[in-house]
Amino acid sequence: MTMEKQIDPQHVAIIMDGNGRWAEQRGMPRSFGHRAGVEALRRVVRHSSGLGIRYLTVYAFSTENWKRPRREIEFLFGLLREYFKKTVEELHAMRVRILMIGDMTPFPADVRELAAKAGQKTRDNDGLRLQIALNYGGRADIIQAARNLAGQVLAGTLDPAAIDEDCFARCLHTAGLPDPELVIRTSGESRLSNFLLWQAAYAELVVTKECWPDFDGAALENALAEYRRRDRRFGSVPRKK
């Protein structure tokens, strides 16, 4: 009898959900929950680094989040400014490399600049690679990849017959990253909400009951333990126990 051990994921992606509800449960404004959400992100990055996770991708602002009240959007921009100013040193000291995925064009110029500087400063770090998804949507990502490939075909530099999964993946915002093996969503909601639609095709989805501001190292380890119990078949048959 062979007991195959599930290898820990290299790439974990997180839908950080429930900041608003967490705050409302405490009779506080939603902004209070977002601020606590930034602290949760700091904890989880630190813990993920310690566990040796190679890639962590977090959904911080989706293409649908523009539907929120302007005040809340402005507050999130303010948090991003603070995050890039205050937290980058801490991440750099942990040898974390920070990258943004998504289309930051509609963001305020100073936020874009701070994000670019954070990326620049940490670009040679060899620790955890942290992708922060900002104005990211899985569908928008697939569309921009399709446009890119169509442009290459029109220019005569790409034969449509040469477009395969690897070629397509190289045009996505996550080019060069392995697909996430584990997607965690907090606050009990079981949806992908337009996150990494292509990349998460075979990811295990673990939904945790706590809202994002309560998520910590122990919650992350519980999600990893749940992942290890899963039988990943990729369309094949169950593994022999």
User: Does residue 220 interact with ligand FPP by CB under 6 A?
Assistant: no
Whole-Å CA distances, 98 to 78, 115, 121, 135, 153: 18, 9, 9, 16, 32
Alpha helices in the chain (DSSP H): 19-25, 30-51, 70-82, 88-93, 109-122, 138-154, 165-169, 217-229
Rule CB under 6 A: choose which of 9, 37, 138, 180 binds ligand FPP.
37
Q: Does 60 bind ligand FPP (CB under 6 A)?
A: yes
Enter the DSSP assignment of 239.
Answer: P
Binders of ligand FPP: how many residues, by CB under 6 A?
18
> To the nearest whole angstrom, how small is the minimum distance from the Cβ of residue 151 to ligand FPP?
31
* Active-site residue, from 8, 19, 65, 166: 65
CA distances from 181 to 12, 50, 74, 175, 209 (A): 6, 19, 33, 16, 20
Rounded to whole angstroms, what are the CA distances from 119 to 31, 103, 113, 152, 153? Answer: 26, 15, 10, 28, 31
Q: Which of 13, 16, 91, 219 binds ligand FPP (CB under 6 A)?
A: 16
State the nearest-atom distance from the C-beta of 143 to ligand FPP, in Å. 22
Interacting residues with ligand FPP between 179 and 218 (CB under 6 A)? none
Pick the closer one to ligand FPP by CB: 39 or 221: 39
Applying CB under 6 A, the span of 11-19, 107-115, 176-184, 233-241 interacting with ligand FPP comes to 11-19
User: What is the C-alpha to C-alpha distance for residues 124 and 131, in angstroms, rounded to an integer?
Assistant: 15
18 near ligand FPP, judged by CB under 6 A:
yes
List 20, 102, 127, 180, residue binding ligand FPP (CB under 6 A): 20
Q: Most distant CA pair in the chain: distance in Å?
A: 60
Contact 52, 127 (CB under 8 A): no
CA 79 and chain centroid, separation: 17
| Closest residue to bound ligand FPP by CB | 20
- Phi, psi torsion values for 54, nearest 5 degrees: -85, -40
Q: Could you say whether residue 99 binds ligand FPP (CB under 6 A)?
A: no
Whether residue 65 lies in the annotated active site: yes
Is 31 an interacting residue with respect to ligand FPP (CB under 6 A)? no
Tokens of 81: 């400014």
Which positions touch ligand FPP (CB under 6 A)?
Answer: 16-21, 34, 37-38, 41, 60-61, 65, 76, 79-80, 83, 132
Give the residue numbers marked as catalytic. 17, 65
